[in-house]
């Protein structure tokens, strides 16, 4: 019975591969492949669930797909099937099937028709992989697929300024969630001394034994899981990204940010609930976070002038209530609430274009003033204060920039004095010193040698920050990321002498993607003579294949699953000791900032309105 689970990944993967081979103008064939593969997956799932229920609905686990193994490490795909999986797969498959049929007509003759259906199928693979994942590594693969497909769909109208800008903003928040998941995976390796499966987390005795002697470690993992869930589900203080995600087509807004992707944070909490069930302080924090989101989201939704923004804030307010239900231990109620909210928001978003015309007609011909409610009994100063805060979306966007992105950009810009030539000289000198220190370890005092890992990792982080804030030379920003990966490999070599095989595996993905990306940039420079990052150049308009190739290089350099760099990152974290939290944090931040810098380079070079003014210029988004 367990072997059937892998078909829920294989069927959409086959559909995605076939859709890549179809020509752009074959709309009928493209849409047919999409809803046939999703419909076949839905039908297979329903037959399997009936068989599963008649056999006593056992918990299924499949861990036979081994990706990489060494003497003391293994990376495997683990699939898990229980009632949480059933609810999420049913809702996801049914809604994706309906939206693909709807999109067949909604996007008729739209530029990027093929790109839309390719991305929807890619998203569906990531969603299925996430909800049937049986360990953190498998979940992280699906998690990353959801992130990059979100970026592509929000920026679907890639010749406009605001969709591209908001796609980068949303991806930035997603990367904060990636930090939490990376650190949770790292610490769980040390807590369990293995790649723990979600099946083993259901063993109360095993969990209690480990947490009894490692309470701080358990709290750290639970809080990192909460950070990831809050960022992915747009909970306070990350709520401001959800309405900005509505820049994409209405069908993608419905399937992503109304129903499925925005509820993945809830899924993560439900899946890991047995781990933090008896950490009552964590449960209180989850409940308070959900309560803050429910209150701020409700007030903000009531003052929005855009229908899609109203639906977005209403949806995240309901997800805040679901967070409270999960914290209280009402798993079944949370699943029912998830399904109801997902179906309702999908319907509301799909009919939102019609609702606008209905409301305009009502305003002119059948206007009914609102009656008094409980809020009118509050003092006027409080009413006006809440109203203004809600109009400003509680300043959450300003908060994120002021306390998260602003300081990071300031650090990067403070190194503006480093030219490309000086950076190369500094990197070569530091790398040579590092290799010498590795070869003459006995000659270095222990109190100095023990901090060399953090030192070189921090230097790599500074290079990543400089790449993130680079505004002029795209080649310099790209090269700084390659340098960062090299310094990370050097830093971990001080911590534990990595085998040559591990270093080659990690850096092979880095250098192959990096060199091909440099070749793409040189080809772009020969064609357009534009390589600066101070504006969007829109080169995908004239060079779509080059844009696709460069995006693949960005994903390879950013450790997208399942590239050699991705497996190398897991190996890197495996060799970071439990007491080296600063090192783990530095390397996590490096990987996250690398991803942001790469996506930003890609967006600046290939997305937006084409820099040549003789091309068509689209109207700016609302």
Task: List the chain domain ranges.
Answer: 2-236+246-360, 395-606
The 8-class DSSP code of residue 237 comes to T
Q: What is the pLDDT of residue 131?
A: 93
**Tokens read off for 278:** 């008896």
Query: How would you classify the pairing of strands 60-69 and 74-81?
Result: antiparallel
Q: What is the pLDDT of residue 128?
A: 93
Average pLDDT of the chain, as a whole number:
86
Query: Which of 415 and 358 is assigned the larger pLDDT?
Result: 415
307-328 and 264-271 helices cross at what angle (nearest 10)?
A: 10
Task: Give the C-alpha separation, 319 to 149, whole Å.
Answer: 22
Task: Give the C-alpha separation, 267 to 132, whole Å.
Answer: 11
**Tokens read off for 300:** 């903000």
- Does residue 621 carry a pLDDT above 60? no
Q: What is the pLDDT of residue 622?
A: 46
Could you read off the pLDDT of 39-66 as tens digits, one per residue? 999 999 999 999 999 988 888 888 767 7
| CA dist list (Å): 258 to 191, 309, 614 | 36, 11, 38
Task: Give the C-alpha separation, 386 to 382, whole Å.
Answer: 6
Task: Give the C-alpha separation, 505 to 511, whole Å.
Answer: 11
Task: Give the C-alpha separation, 558 to 158, whole Å.
Answer: 21
Q: What is the pLDDT of residue 498?
A: 67
Cite the beta strand spans of 286-392 per DSSP E.
none
Long-range contacts of 187-193 (CB under 8 A, 24+ apart): 187/217, 187/220, 187/221, 187/224, 187/578, 187/584, 188/136, 188/221, 189/573, 189/574, 190/217, 190/577, 190/578, 191/217, 191/218, 191/221
Query: Which of 444 and 151 is assigned the larger pLDDT?
Result: 151
Tokens 């994903």 correspond to: 555
Task: Give the C-alpha separation, 124 to 117, whole Å.
Answer: 10
Task: Give the C-alpha separation, 191 to 214, whole Å.
Answer: 8
Task: Give the C-alpha separation, 489 to 484, whole Å.
Answer: 9
Secondary structure of 153-202 in HEC code, one letter for each residue? HHCCCCCCHHHHHHHHHHHHHHHHHHHHHHHHHHHHHHHHCCCCEHHHHC
Task: Give the C-alpha separation, 64 to 472, whole Å.
Answer: 48
Task: Give the C-alpha separation, 467 to 371, whole Å.
Answer: 55
| CA dist list (Å): 71 to 74, 165, 493, 502 | 8, 45, 18, 12
Tokens 């779509």 correspond to: 544
Q: Give the global pTM.
A: 0.91
Q: Can you say how many angstroms the Cα of residue 54 is from the centroid of all Cα atoms in its chain?
A: 37
Closest CA to 524 of 438, 601, 419: 601
Strand partners, 352: none
CA atoms within 13 A on the CB side of 426: 16
Is there a contact between 529 and 569 (Cβ–Cβ < 8 Å)? no
Closest CA to 271 of 216, 189, 196: 196
Burial of 291 per CB tally in 10 Å (0-12, 13-18, 19+): middle
- Does residue 520 carry a pLDDT above 70? yes
Is there a contact between 161 and 608 (Cβ–Cβ < 8 Å)? yes
Lowest-pLDDT choice from 414-428, 466-480, 517-531: 517-531
CA atoms within 13 A on the CB side of 275: 28
- If one counts every other C-beta atom within 10 angstroms of the C-beta of residue 248, the result is 25
544-557 and 500-528 helices cross at what angle (nearest 10)?
A: 150
Task: Give the C-alpha separation, 100 to 124, whole Å.
Answer: 11
Spell 196-208 as b/e; 16+ CB within 10 A means b. bbbbebeeeeebe
Task: Give the C-alpha separation, 65 to 79, whole Å.
Answer: 9
Q: What are the helix and strand counts (H, E) for the chain?
A: 28, 2
Q: What is the pLDDT of residue 123?
A: 92
Tokens 């795209």 correspond to: 474
**Tokens read off for 120:** 């929807």
Closest CA to 568 of 544, 604, 530, 594: 594
Could you read off the pLDDT of 99-138 as tens digits, one per residue? 999 988 888 888 888 999 999 999 999 999 999 998 888 8
Task: Give the C-alpha separation, 220 to 248, whole Å.
Answer: 36
Could you read off the pLDDT of 252-284 as tens digits, one per residue? 888 877 788 899 999 999 999 998 888 889 999
Tokens 């009413």 correspond to: 383
| CA dist list (Å): 452 to 190, 202, 358, 433, 592 | 22, 40, 65, 11, 22
- Does residue 157 carry a pLDDT above 60? yes
Could you read off the pLDDT of 337-382 as tens digits, one per residue? 999 999 998 988 888 777 666 665 555 555 566 667 667 777 878 8
- Does residue 156 carry a pLDDT above 70? yes
564-574 and 581-606 helices cross at what angle (nearest 10)?
A: 160
Q: What is the pLDDT of residue 428?
A: 92
φ, ψ for residue 81, nearest 5 deg: -135, 115
Length of the chain (residues): 622
Could you read off the pLDDT of 462-471 as tens digits, one per residue? 999 999 988 8
Q: What is the pLDDT of residue 18?
A: 92
């Amino acid at each position: 019975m367990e072997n059937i689970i892998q078909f829920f990944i294989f069927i959409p993967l086959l559909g995605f591969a076939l859709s890549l081979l179809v020509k752009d103008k074959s709309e009928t064939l493209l849409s047919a492949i999409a809803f046939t593969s999703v419909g076949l997956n839905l039908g297979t799932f329903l037959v399997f669930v009936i068989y599963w229920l008649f056999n006593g609905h056992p918990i299924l686990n499949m861990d036979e797909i081994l990706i990489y193994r060494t003497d003391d490490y293994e990376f495997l795909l683990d699939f898990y099937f229980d009632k949480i999986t059933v609810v999420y797969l049913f809702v996801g498959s049914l809604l994706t099937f309906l939206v693909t049929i709807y999109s067949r007509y909604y996007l008729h003759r739209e530029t990027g028709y093929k790109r839309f259906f390719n991305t929807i199928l890619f998203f569906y693979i990531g969603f299925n992989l996430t909800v049937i994942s049986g360990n953190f590594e498998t979940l992280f693969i699906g998690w990353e697929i959801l992130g990059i497909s979100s970026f592509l769909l929000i920026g679907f109208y890639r010749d406009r300024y605001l969709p591209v800008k908001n796609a980068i903003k949303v991806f930035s928040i997603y990367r904060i969630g990636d930090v939490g998941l990376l650190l949770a995976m790292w610490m769980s390796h040390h807590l369990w001394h293995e790649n723990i499966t979600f099946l083993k987390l259901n063993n109360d005795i095993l969990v209690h034994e480990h947490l009894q002697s490692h309470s701080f470690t358990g709290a750290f993992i639970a809080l990192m899981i909460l950070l990831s869930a809050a960022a992915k589900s747009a909970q306070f203080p990350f709520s401001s990204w959800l309405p900005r995600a509505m820049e994409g087509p209405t069908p993608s807004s419905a399937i992503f940010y109304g129903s499925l992707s925005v509820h993945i944070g809830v899924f993560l909490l439900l899946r890991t609930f047995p781990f933090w069930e008896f950490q009552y302080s964590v449960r209180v924090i989850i409940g308070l976070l959900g309560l803050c989101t429910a209150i701020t989201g409700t007030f903000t939704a009531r003052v929005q002038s855009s229908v899609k923004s109203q639906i977005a804030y209403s949806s995240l307010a309901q997800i805040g209530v679901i967070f409270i239900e999960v914290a209280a231990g009402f798993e079944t109620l949370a699943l029912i609430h998830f399904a109801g909210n997902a179906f309702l928001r999908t319907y509301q978003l799909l009919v939102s274009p019609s609702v606008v015309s209905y409301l305009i007609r009502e305003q002119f011909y059948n206007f009914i003033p609102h009656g008094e409610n409980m809020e009118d009994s509050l003092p006027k100063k409080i009413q006006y204060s809440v109203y203004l805060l809600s109009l400003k979306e509680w300043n959450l966007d300003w908060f994120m920039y002021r306390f998260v992105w602003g300081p990071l950009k300031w650090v990067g810009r403070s190194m503006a004095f480093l030219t490309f030539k000086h950076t190369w000289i500094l990197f070569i000198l530091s790398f040579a010193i590092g290799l010498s220190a590795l070869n003459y370890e006995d000659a270095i005092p222990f109190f100095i040698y023990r901090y060399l890992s953090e030192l070189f990792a921090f230097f790599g982080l500074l290079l990543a920050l400089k790449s993130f804030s680079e505004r002029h030379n795209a080649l310099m920003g790209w090269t700084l990321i390659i340098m960062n990966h090299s310094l990370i490999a050097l830093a971990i070599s001080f911590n534990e002498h990595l085998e040559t095989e591990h270093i080659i595996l990690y850096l092979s993905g880095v250098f192959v993607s990096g060199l091909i990306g440099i070749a793409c940039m040189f080809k772009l420079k020969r064609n357009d003579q534009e390589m600066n990052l101070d504006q969007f150049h829109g080169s995908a308009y004239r060079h779509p294949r080059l844009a696709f190739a460069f995006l693949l290089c960005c994903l390879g350099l950013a450790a997208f699953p399942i590239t050699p760099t991705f497996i190398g990152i897991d190996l890197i974290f495996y060799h970071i000791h439990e007491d080296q939290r600063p090192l783990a944090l530095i390397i996590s931040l490096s990987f996250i900032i690398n991803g942001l810098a790469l996506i930003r380079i890609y967006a600046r070079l290939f997305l937006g309105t084409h820099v040549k003014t003789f091309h068509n210029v689209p109207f700016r988004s609302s």
